[in-house]
A and B are shown apart, each in its own frame.
Chain A
């Protein structure tokens, strides 16, 4: 395991470097001039060129890349072209919101998915099972922005139970997290259902029955234990997905996460921010995937690691 982890670490480092390279190139491929955006509309040609020179944007791209990476390893993510604030500060200020949303989303996915899956497994083959699975499908087939707007309309506008978007209190978190929970919960319910069904036919159920223990309890305990690792795997993948910017949900609810930051940065070609957010998101994905892979292999020994 240690050897595997070490190898994955090295792989991850390589992957992250690759991602910085690709992001860098993509940023420069955008057909617009970041310097023009900084210099504004009343700037003279000299001003523009001097800003370009100051930011080192007149250097060839490989040179700029090397400079960026060498600063990065020293912990310097650079400064926003437009605001001049340090990228690290900007990302740091938005990270709590993103993490909070992620936690809320995963919580809702579990709160929706687990009971649904258990119920479906218990009613296996019957209407209840089909119904729940159909609902799960509906959830994952729904576009996030539609679910989000629907929730806003009903619960924030008509019923006024929750604020109409924004950030600051627990109440602000409910609707956006619920949106993500609804659209992602379906996967969890399916997985839980499979895990429960697996357990149903096992020997220890019969043994427990013979011993007189409540069947429900045994099924639940063993089923959930069975589901634990796949669940961790799914959560791992979710971490990656949510950290890479829940741009849509952030946009609908006005949630100040890093997704919005990245979106604005791409619009304005604020390259340091684009690089910073992509890197942070990629790290999250890599870590999440690692968790998922380890959990999967522990669960299913047939799946070889590496």
Chain B
């Protein structure tokens, strides 16, 4: 374990990424303390008389949005939506994908084949269109959005887990254990799952980059979390029509999304390298 950590720590960029994640997570948790204003309060002085938002100044550090709300406060609170949905969606996707992949790989035969064919089917489904359709069917809320993203994202994990489980299942010791009559749930949990942990761990971090981006995209299209809950993508959605005149409303939230996704990408990538030294030759 300490080996892994040492290898991980050698990747400076990953360390920075991890720090960023921690900072964002802490400020999201401590949002009421960190944010100078209520994120949903629409200030009269937040807009010019003609209804235009204000650029960054001493009072509103990052400016205001089109309803006169403090952008900085909304960004801080918006981290909650991004993190909660990003983590929850990915966790669900990993859960579903692992469960299906493991079952298919272990059980094999026609049942396993069927599950994998279903996975192929879902993989051929245009992801964003599926998300849009699901969002139209279900009334978006924080958890529904997470669910929609999970339903779109579980496929890749399932395939990877399946392949790994397949090769594991064919190994002798499994055959031996099976012939000895060990019941298969125990087999799976005791002997297969531990080998899958590195993969699951890597996907649990790398996947969050994808889910964070997807959440931002759905919010940008107007089908993300319900207003007035602050969401980085949602801020950009509301401010689009003004962006040539109030570009800060696009770039600050955009930078936040980028930072978060990138941090998870860096951490996940470094984790993958650290957990699987054989990959290092290509790293």
Contacts and interface: CB of A to CB of B under 8 A. Distances in A.
Contact of B262 (A15, A18, A138): A138
Contacts of B136: 30, 266-267
Interface residues of A, number: 52
A143 B126 contact: no
B278 to A, nearest CB: 14
Interface string A165-194: 000000000000000000000000000001
B8 to A, nearest CB: 16
Contacts of B143: none
Contacts of A144: 217
Contacts of A143: 213, 216-217, 220, 233, 254, 257-258, 261
Among A149, A263, A289, the most chain B Cβ lie within 10 Å of the Cβ of A149
Contacts of B243: 149, 153
A202 B117 CA distance: 39
A26 interface: yes
A18 B120 CA distance: 10
A286 B125 CA distance: 9
Interface stretch (A34-42, A103-111, A243-251): A243-251
Given A30-B137, A137-B262, A247-B221, A149 B254 contact: yes
A33 interface: no
A244 B236 contact: no
B126 A281 contact: yes
Interface in A141-175: 141-146, 149-150, 153, 157
A295 interface: no
A141 B262 contact: yes
Contacts of B251: 146, 150
Contacts of A241: 127
A75 interface: no
B157 to A, nearest CB: 16
A278 B236 contact: no
Interface in B97-153: 117, 120-121, 123-130, 132-134, 136-137
A140 interface: yes
Interface residues of B, number: 42
Nearest to B236: A145
Main DSSP-derived SS at the B contact region: helix
A142 B216 CA distance: 10
A27 B213 CA distance: 25
Contact of B128 (A27, A31, A244): A244
A262 B129 contact: yes
Nearest to B253: A146
Nearest to B279: A194
Contact of B133 (A30, A31, A240, A244): A30
A240 B123 CA distance: 10
B64 interface: no
Given A26-B137, A30-B136, A289 B129 contact: no
Given A29-B137, A248-B220, A137 B282 contact: no
B265 interface: yes
A72 B132 CA distance: 24
B126 A248 contact: no
Contacts of A130: 13
A198 B236 CA distance: 42
A274 B126 CA distance: 12
Contact of A145 (B217, B265, B281): B217
B265 A137 contact: yes
B266 interface: yes
Contact of B137 (A31, A138, A198, A244): A31
Contact of B221 (A15, A251, A277): A251
B112 to A, nearest CB: 14
B194 interface: no
Interface string B242-256: 011001001100110
A295 B8 CA distance: 33
B209 interface: yes
Contacts of A145: 216-217, 220, 233, 236, 254
B206 to A, nearest CB: 11
B133 A141 contact: no
Among A140, A145, A240, A251, the most chain B Cβ lie within 10 Å of the Cβ of A145
Nearest to B258: A142
8 contacts: A22-B121, A23-B133, A134-B13, A137-B262, A142-B257, A143-B233, A244-B128, A267-B136
Interface of A: 11, 14-16, 18-19, 22-23, 26-27, 29-31, 130, 134, 137-138, 140-146, 149-150, 153, 157, 194, 197-198, 240-241, 243-245, 247-248, 251, 259, 262-263, 266-267, 274, 277-278, 281-282, 285-286, 289
Interface of B: 13, 117, 120-121, 123-130, 132-134, 136-137, 209, 213, 216-217, 220-221, 233, 236, 240, 243-244, 247, 250-251, 254-255, 257-258, 261-262, 265-266, 269, 281-282
Given A29-B137, A30-B133, A247-B128, 14 more contacts: A19-B121, A130-B13, A134-B13, A141-B265, A142-B258, A157-B244, A244-B126, A244-B127, A247-B132, A248-B128, A262-B129, A266-B132, A266-B136, A282-B125
